[in-house]
Chains A and B, each alone.
Chain A
Amino acid sequence: NAGVTQTPKFQVLKTGQSMTLQCAQDMNHEYMSWYRQDPGMGLRLIHYSVGAGITDQGEVPNGYNVSRSTTEDFPLRLLSAAPSQTSVYFCASSYTAGPVGGDTQYFGPGTRLTVL
């Protein structure tokens, strides 16, 4: 199993550009989520999905869109990039409801995004 994969690893955007961060998992996990990690802020949830066709907002959803058309993929779209979106983005997945009940939440390696 490849686990959770994210592409690209690094990206530089100009203000106003749009792009899609890709996330895929090959573990047949129902739950997937996107976090951003900023210095001094910890991990903050952007959006999450409890299954194909179902998504919901997390703590910091503004400026981001998601969709979940398949179990495997959960792309994150930046609609009009802003310098405040400079961050490291992590995708995560788990089989059931995350670590509750002992299930493990697997994180991808991250995408480092810089918006100029």
Chain B
Amino acid sequence: QKEVEQDPGPLSVPEGAIVSLNCTYSNSAFQYFMWYRQYSRKGPELLMYTYSSGNKEDGRFTAQVDKSSKYISLFIRDSQPSDSATYLCAMSEYGGSQGNLIFGKGTKLSVKP
């Protein structure tokens, strides 16, 4: 079983919809959880970062971590066509090195006008 599982989609929603993107993981030692957004033919960019369990909100984006269920989510409210991208979750046990990041495969999202 891969350490991080993420449904690749594609996911297609109408503009204004609430989008829910999810990842599950098997390593209970993961403490640091991130979401990256990647536009087509571009490099990923960090969208949200969360440490341990709980919620974090930034504008239309909310990241949730449930360590007891080994499940993380990214919610996008009032989705826009400009949100169309691939969303990658990533997680890490340790805070001290980039070498520990484990990425999901990414979910491709399309927001239709």
Interface set of A (CB-CB < 8 Å, partner B) = 4, 31, 33, 40-45, 48, 50, 56, 58, 90, 92, 94, 97-102, 104-110
A44-B45 Cα distance, complex, nearest whole Å: 16
| CB–CB B43/A99 < 8 A | no
Residues of B within 8 A of A (CB): 4, 6, 8, 32, 34, 41-46, 49, 51, 88, 90, 92, 94-99, 101, 103-106
B45 touches A107 (CB 8 A): yes
Name the residue of chain A whose CB is nearest to the CB of B106.
A42
* Residue pair B105, A100 in contact (C-beta under 8 Å): no
If A102-B49, A107-B44, A109-B42 touch, whether A43 touches B88 (CB-CB below 8 Å) is yes
Q: B43, A98: Cβ atoms under 8 Å?
A: no
Q: Which of B46, B104, B105 contacts A105 (CB 8 A)?
A: B46
Contact A43 B49 (CB under 8 A): no
CB-defined contacts of A97 to chain B, threshold 8 Å: 95-98
> Would A41 and B105 count as touching, CB distance under 8 A?
yes
Name the CB-closest residue of A to B34.
Answer: A99
- Beyond A40-B8, A100-B32, A100-B92, whether A45 also contacts B45 by CB under 8 A is no
- A110 B104 Cβ-Cβ under 8 A: no
Contact of A43 among B44, B92, B99 (CB under 8 A): B44
Q: Tell which of A40, A104, A109 touches B105, judged by Cβ atoms closer than 8 Å.
A: A40
Name 17 interchain pairs, CB-CB below 8 A, sorted by A: A42-B6, A43-B90, A43-B103, A45-B101, A48-B98, A50-B98, A58-B99, A94-B98, A97-B95, A98-B97, A99-B34, A100-B96, A105-B46, A109-B41, A109-B43, A110-B41, A110-B43
Contacts of A45 in B (CB 8 A): 98-99, 101
Beta-carbon contact of A101 and B95 below 8 Å = yes
Say which residue of B44, B95, B101 sits within 8 Å of A90 (CB atoms).
B44
